Amino acid sequence: MLVTGLEILAKARKEGYGVGAFNTNNMEITQAILEAAEAKRSPVIIALSEGALKYGGRALTKMVHELARDASVPVAIHLDHGHSYESVLRALYAGFTSVMIDKSGEPFDVNVAETKRVAEAAHAVGASVEAELGRLAGVEEHVAVDEKDALLTNPREAQIFVERTGIDFLAVAIGTSHGPYKGKGKPFIDHARLVEIAKLLGPDYPLVLHGASGVPQELVQRFRAAGGEIGDAHGIAPEDIQKAISEGIAKINTDTDLRLAFTTRVREVLNAEPAVFDPRKILGPAREEMRKVVEARIDLFGSAGKA
Ligand SMILES: [Zn+2]
C-alpha cells in the first residue's frame, strides 16, 4: 500500500528501528525491493533520483506507482536529491508520496528559503519532505577538526534549519559519502555529532543517512573475479549502521549495494553461459541477487516484521 515517507519513518524512529530507502531505475530493481520487503514483512521506501526519472520517464514512475500500490506492505515513493522546485513539483504530480530537496550546496539562508518553499508545496498535497544540511563529501577520521566542521552538519544549525523550513526528516552529513568508498583508511561515522543533532531535534525526529551502503566484501570479490574493476572499495560496517539507528537514524539510503549485486550477477551469468541471449536469463538471476541484498539490509535495520 502506498503511504507517505513520514508515516513510515515516524513509526520507525519511535520504535527504534531503521527503514531502507532503495534506489531503483528499472523493473527488476523495483521487483527485487518489493519482493524482499514483502517476504520480510517490512515497510520500505523506493527512491528515484532525477537521473532515474530522466532514464525511465513516465514508464518508470507509472510502473513503480502501480507496484507500490499493489504491495501488501507500506511503501513510500521518494524523490532522491531533487535539485529544483520544478523537479519536486514534477515528482508530486507523478504521485510521489515523499520528496527530497537538496540545496545543501547553497549558503545556509538560501538552503532555508528554497527548502521552505518546497516543503509548503509538498505538504499542500500531503507528501513528506526531506532536506539536507552539510556536505556528503566523505570525511575521514584523521581530517582536522575545523575542516570537518566546515563539511559536516552543525547540530545547532540543524535545529534552526528544521524549525524554519518545517521539513519532516533531515539528511545529516556525519562522515559518509556516496558510492563505494575509495579513500584511504576506513569510512567513518561521527557518532558524537549524530547524538548531539538527535538530542536537539528531539526523540521523535527521524534523521536520514546517505552514503550508507555496506559494499559487502563477498560481492566485491565476486565482482572482481567476474572481471569487474572497482579498486579498493569499502562501505559502512553493519555495527556502525545499527549504532547510528540507535542514535536517531530512521532512513538508510542504499544504492551502491544493489548496483554491485546486479552487475556482479550479470557478469557471472554471461561469463558462465556464453550462449545465453535471452534477457530474462540474464536479468532474472540479477533480480534474485538484488533481492537477497535488500533482505539482508532489512534484517540489519531491524524493520522485518514491522509492516
Ligand atoms: Zn544521497
Taking the chain, what is the end-to-end CA distance rounded to the nearest angstrom?
10
pLDDT in tens, 68-79: 999 999 999 999
Helix, strand, or coil (residue 80) = strand
Cα-to-centroid distance, 176 and ligand 1 (Å): 10
Q: Which residues are catalytically annotated? A: 80
Q: Give the cell for residue 242.
A: 545499527
Residue 279, domain member (yes or no):
yes
Q: How confident is the model at residue 125 (pLDDT cuts 50, 70, 90)?
A: very high
Q: Give the cell for residue 121.
A: 508545496
Give the pLDDT of residue 282: 98
Give the pLDDT of residue 187: 72
Q: Give the cell for residue 58.
A: 513516465
Residue found by looking up cell 541471449 in the block: 277
The whole-model pTM stands at 0.95
Residue 306, domain member (yes or no):
no
What is the CATH classification number for the domain harbouring 203? 3.20.20.70
Residue 143 neighbours by CB under 8 Å, 6+ apart = none
CB 37 within 8 A of CB 13: no
Cα-to-centroid distance, 31 and ligand 1 (Å): 21
Exposure string of 85-95, with b = 16+ CB inside 10 Å and e = fewer, is eebbbbbbebb
pLDDT in tens, 153-187: 999 999 999 999 999 999 999 988 887 765 555 67
Q: Which residues pair with 82 in a beta bridge?
A: 101
Give the pLDDT of residue 148: 72
Q: Give the cell for residue 182.
A: 575509495
**CA–CA distance, 134 with 111 (Å, rounded to integer):** 10
Residue 307, domain member (yes or no):
no
**CA–CA distance, 12 with 128 (Å, rounded to integer):** 15
Q: Give the cell for residue 164.
A: 524554519
**CA–CA distance, 148 with 144 (Å, rounded to integer):** 6
Number of domains within the chain: 1
Give the pLDDT of residue 143: 65
- The domain of 18 spans 5-301
Cα-to-centroid distance, 171 and ligand 1 (Å): 8
**CA–CA distance, 213 with 11 (Å, rounded to integer):** 23
Cα-to-centroid distance, 132 and ligand 1 (Å): 9
pLDDT at 35 over 70: yes
Nearest to 209 by CA among 34, 33, 45: 45
- Average per-residue pLDDT for the chain: 94
Cα-to-centroid distance, 254 and ligand 1 (Å): 9
pLDDT at 149 over 90: no
Cα-to-centroid distance, 265 and ligand 1 (Å): 25
Cα-to-centroid distance, 81 and ligand 1 (Å): 6
**CA–CA distance, 137 with 188 (Å, rounded to integer):** 12
Q: Give the cell for residue 80.
A: 532522491
CB 179 within 8 A of CB 215: no
Residue 59, domain member (yes or no):
yes
